[in-house]
Amino acid sequence: MTRFLAHPFDDDKLKEECGVFGVIGVPDAANFVALGLHALQHRGQEAGGIVAHDEHEGFNNARRFGYIRDNFTKADVMQMLPGSLAIGHVRYSTAGSKGNTAIRDVQPFFGEFSMGGAAIAHNGNLTNAAALRRDLIERGAIFQSSSDSECIIHLMARSIQKSLSERIKDALRAVEGAFSVIAMTRTKLIGVRDPLGVRPLVLGRIGDDGFVLSSETCALDIIGAEFVREIDPGEMVVISKGQIESSRPFSPAKSRFCIFEHVYFSRPDSILGGRSVYETRRQIGVELARESPVEADLVCPVPDSGTPAAIGYAAESGIPYGMGIIRNQYMGRTFIEPTEQIRNMGVRLKLNVNRALIKGKRVILVDDSVVRGTTSRKIKDMILDAGAAEVHFRIASPPTAWPCFYGVDTPDRGKLLAATMSEEEMRDWIGVDSLKFISLDGLYRAVGEAKGRDAKSPQYCDACFSGQYPVAPSDQIAQGFEMKAAE
């Protein structure tokens, strides 16, 4: 079996950990789940899995490495997954064996209980998973994977509740961190969001009696489902026979949705909190142009994630917009060993400069974020090699200075450029004429908070920028992580 290696360009981007999708009440539900996961592929490209239930054949599952299109479009695979109820998951490895995932780590996870089988798919990260795991193992649990999400199955097994939905409530009351969970029993599709609502989860309707749960609305579109509403923070929905029951199993808490979903993780054609992700990103560019103007001849996005912000920056500044960098649409993950020569070619394999447009121009490059900064340096070199007179970077997020513990694959803090350098030092290290990030208040204005960020009670989770964690990462603290002191 060929295992795919991450392309060198991808190492300098934050990666969302996974996407979840479930369908009930339609024939061949697994086919709909495969389409939904394909639409959510940007949330996890390492592996995917589907569990389906048929009243005659019971539960069946398939888990594969690689893209959904390469695995779950094959007739022999999909024939293994009959039934009108199915859930699925795409993943990056943010917990467990990062970058070295075993097939047993691929979700959904399945368990047999006294009242029947159940499967779960989890988007997020449990910040007390290590402590839970130790306790469960001491009490006799036998883990099959390195994933934090498997703790939920074992906690369900320990519950004394009489129904699987009540056991899920019990299990999730014991965990900390971020979770948007889709689960299934023989007859029910279940969706739950953590009390802070850090990760997204939406409800859709398909056909006369069918319902859908998904990480994003864009995945509803691909199967022709109607968007109904978002699952509220702290809400649990149980769907069966065309009926939905809603409950609130957790103590009330103020919502702290991940603001980086607006900046980068979600697809631009999705809707978050009633707002178009594309429009929010365009507005980020408008705010950035107001905060950090500079004289230049051309505004260019770093494709594809910087494109909406660059359009907004150009419109607000009056500086022409142009595609100064062209992305190779067919460059995914590489199957060749990343030798030093290939590694140095990394960005050029994926991006190429439009020399005729760039030559002699003062260029503003708009990107979504700077993580390690290595890619920014390479792109700057490409632009200068193409004959640009000046290079100015404008970044559509504040400096990423703190790791995320809620399900995002973030480097150690010491590897985050903004954690070790000031903005001026970063500018000099990258080697550009100017470097400016949008302010936290500017970002909040772009997502619809007219007065900016409420410092005493932030409206979103912005810990990767501010260092203010809405849920203390207890496992990390036990390992020596030092949180930012309260202001």
**DSSP H helical segments within 359-451, as ranges?**
374-385, 417-420, 423-430, 440-446
Tokens encoding 208: 């006369």
Q: Residue 29: which residues within 8 A CB-CB, separation 6 or more?
A: 23, 52, 83, 84, 85, 86
User: Do strands 47-54 and 460-461 pair parallel, antiparallel, or not at all (unpaired)?
Assistant: unpaired
Torsion over CA: 31, 183, 136, 235 (sign): positive
- E strands within 150-223? 177-184, 189-193, 202-206, 210-214
Secondary structure (DSSP) of 41-74: GGG--SEEEEEEEETTTEEEEEEEES-HHHHTT-
Say how far apart CA 172 and CA 192 lie, in whole Å: 9
18 catalytically annotated:
yes
**Catalytic choice (18, 151, 218, 464):** 18
Say how far apart CA 368 and CA 227 lie, in whole Å: 28
Residue 305's SS3 state is coil
Using the structure block, give the residue that is written with the tokens 């939920």: 152
Tokens encoding 383: 């632009």
Question: How many Cα neighbours within 13 Å face the side chain of 214?
Answer: 35
Residue 120's SS3 state is strand
Secondary structure (DSSP) of 74-116: -HHHHTT--SSEEEEEEE---SSSTT---GGGSSPEEEEETTE
Catalytic residues: 18
